[in-house]
Amino acid sequence: MTQDYSKRVGERIRSIRRQKRLSLQEVEAASNQEFKASVLGAYERGERAISVPRLQRLSRFYNVPADQLLPADAGPSFGVNAGDEGAAELDDRSGRATADPITIDLTQLASLSGPEAE
């Protein structure tokens, strides 16, 4: 994880904590010291990278989906350019496509076999 990405993750973590109107010390106390104020502060400042399992536990503590603790970033394009015809745009938070709906011919789909049917 790059320093810049850690900092952006930290900003999201801090934003969620503040939305919940909790101080670092209140999170530490309410989590039975699972999330120490000093360590959580280091995550929020981007000084320390948070592991995926710990991020999941923190999301459960805050009662938000884990992806809400991550910065809005579509990530690498994997060969699809935004200018490509038919390329779907991604929603900033969910990563779900926001392009025009796709129509699937279920009659034709039922007649497929092999890998195309999967």
pLDDT at 100: 64
| Arithmetic mean of pLDDT, 100-106 | 70
Q: 65, 59 in Cβ contact below 8 A?
A: yes
Q: 17, 62 in Cβ contact below 8 A?
A: yes
Confidence of residue 87 (pLDDT cuts 50, 70, 90): very low
Residue 97 bridge partners (DSSP): 90
Confidence of residue 98 (pLDDT cuts 50, 70, 90): low
pTM: 0.61
Q: 46, 9 in Cβ contact below 8 A?
A: yes
Calculate the average pLDDT of the chain. 80
Q: Which amino acid is at 84?
A: D
pLDDT at 103: 73
pLDDT at 84: 46
Asked which of 36-45, 48-57, 75-84 is least confident by mean pLDDT, the reply is: 75-84
CATH 3.20.20.70 fits 3-69, yes or no: no
Cα 90 to chain centroid, rounded = 13
| Arithmetic mean of pLDDT, 55-76 | 86
Residue 34 bridge partners (DSSP): none
